[in-house]
Amino acid sequence: MELRDDLLNAYLEVTCDKEPALLQKINRDTHLKETMPHMLSGHYQGRLLSMLSRLVSPNRILEIGTFTGYATICLAEGLAVNGKLHTIDVAEERQERVQAYFDASPFADKIKYHIGDARTIIPTLHECFDLVFIDADKKNNLNYYELVLEKVRSGGFILIDNVLWKGKVLDQQHPDKQTQQVLQLNQFIAEDERVQKIILPVRDGLFLIRKR
């Protein structure tokens, strides 16, 4: 039996926790105001990110690629009482709107929003992270992975989004440039003995990585 993606997604959304009101607003606003709203994590993946964060109960979270702040708030839901989340994005034009979402959330004092190049900002963060979520420009994912791995505690987790790349990773005979970059990342992590790893086939693929 083949399941249509739209039917499966609808079923997954009605069988997980409801989407909180603020996230519903961010979801709507993103689809109204952004040219690429599909970059949003969305209801189902957002609840998964929240669940994973709650399981870890992190003191420190790092997110690379804020976009409109949806996943940021989902991850913040699992923060420990005195926890802190750093999120990095290059899009200065969204800063005011996204900061307003953070200010309206219960985590306003726990989210530090950085604007700039993550490759420059990450080395300035003198933190030991329990959880990292990478969802930014794919060409730099391997650079981000190497930069953050040394800042993740032993037993901590790294999540990387879009590692199935709309199924294009299955066509390894004639991959385009972006697919080659995703394949290179996936192969590198698969062979990396410093971590345990598994790809979850959620939406566009989520790499779940645990530092040994």
- Domain 5-211 class, CATH top level: alpha beta
pLDDT of residue 32: 97
CA distance 160 to 62: 12
Q: Residue range 169-177: average pLDDT?
A: 89
Summarised one tens digit per residue, pLDDT across range 108-150 is 999 999 999 999 999 999 999 999 999 999 999 999 999 999 9
Which of 38-52, 81-95, 118-132, 169-183 is predicted least confidently? 169-183
CA distance 167 to 152: 29
pLDDT of residue 2: 59
Residues 107 and 73 sit within 8 Å (Cβ to Cβ): yes
pLDDT of residue 3: 61
Asked whether residue 167 carries a pLDDT value surpassing 80, the answer given is yes
Residues 111 and 87 sit within 8 Å (Cβ to Cβ): yes
DSSP designation for 19: P
pLDDT tier for residue 5 given thresholds of 50, 70 and 90: confident
Residues 77 and 54 sit within 8 Å (Cβ to Cβ): yes
pLDDT tier for residue 151 given thresholds of 50, 70 and 90: very high
Q: In the predicted model, what is the mean pLDDT of the chain?
A: 96
CA distance 93 to 90: 9
